[in-house]
Structure 1
Amino acid sequence: MRGRTRRRQPGEVFGPRTSLFADVLSIGLATALVSLPLVTAPAALSTACAVLRGAAEHRPSTAGRYVSELLAHLRPGDLTAGALLVLALALVAADIALVGAGLPGAPVFAGAAALVAATALTVGLRACGRPESTTDWRTAVRAAAHDAARDLPGTGLVLLAATTCFLCTWMLLPLAFLVPGPLALALVAIDGRRRPPDGSHR
Structure 2
Amino acid sequence: MSVRARETGEIFGPRMTLFADVLCLGVVTALACLPLITAPAALSTACAIVRGTGEDQPATAGRYVTLLRERFRSGDLAAGAFAVAGALLFLADLALAGVGLPGARVFAVAAAVIGVCAVVVALRSCARPESLTDWPAAVRGAAGDAARDVGGSVLVLLALAAAVLCAWMMLPLAFLVPGPLALALTAIDVRHVRMPQGETA
Normalized against structure 1, the TM-score is what?
Answer: 0.87
1:2 — aligned with what?
3
Question: Cα distance, 1:135 vs. partner?
Answer: 1.1
Aligned with residue 115 of structure 1, among 113, 116, 132: 113
Aligned to 1:10: none
Give the fraction of aligned pairs with identical amino acids, expressed as a percent: 61
State the AA in 1 paired with 2:124.
Answer: R
Q: How does 1:1-202 map to 2 (within 5 A)?
A: 2-5=3-6, 16=14, 18-196=16-194
**Structure 1: 5+ residue stretches without partners:** 7-13, 198-202
Aligned-residue Cα RMSD (Å) equals 2.0
SS of 1:96's equivalent? helix
User: Structure 2, unaligned stretches of length 5 or more?
Assistant: 196-201
Cα distance in 2 for residues equivalent to 1:26 and 1:74: 21
Partners in 1 of 2:120 and 2:3 — Cα distance?
A: 31
The more displaced of 153-162 and 93-102 is 93-102
**Aligned residues of 1:130 and 1:191 also touching (Cα < 8 A):** yes
Q: Alpha-carbon deviations, 1:48-91, whole Å to 9, x = none?
A: 00001111322112222101111122211111110011111211
Q: 158-167 or 114-123: which moved more?
A: 158-167
- 1:142 Cα deviation from its structure 2 partner: 0.6
Kept after mapping to 1: 8 A contact 2:22/2:59: no
Deviations 1:110-132 (A, max 9, x none): 11111111111101100100111
Q: 1:87 to 1:17 in 2, by over 3 A?
A: closer
CA contact (8 A) 1:31 1:48 kept: yes
The one-letter amino acid of 1:181's match is G
SS at match of 1:113: helix
Tell me the distance in 2 between the aligned counterparts of 1:17 and 1:111. Answer: 42
Task: Give the letter aligned to residue 39 of structure 2.
Answer: A
Cα deviations across residues 75-108 of structure 1 (Å, max 9, x unaligned)? 1111111001111121122133223323332221
- Provide the C-alpha distance between the structure 1 equivalents of 2:44 and 2:26, rounded to a whole number of angstroms: 12
Q: TM-score, normalised by structure 2?
A: 0.88
Equivalent residues of 1:78, 1:137 under 8 A apart: yes
**Contact between 1:27 and 1:48, CA under 8 Å: does it hold in 2?**
yes
Query: What SS does the corresponding residue of 2:34 show, helix, strand or coil?
Result: coil
Secondary structure (helix, strand or coil) at the match of 1:3 reads coil
Q: Is the 2:159–2:181 contact (alpha carbons within 8 Å) kept by the matching residues of 1?
A: yes
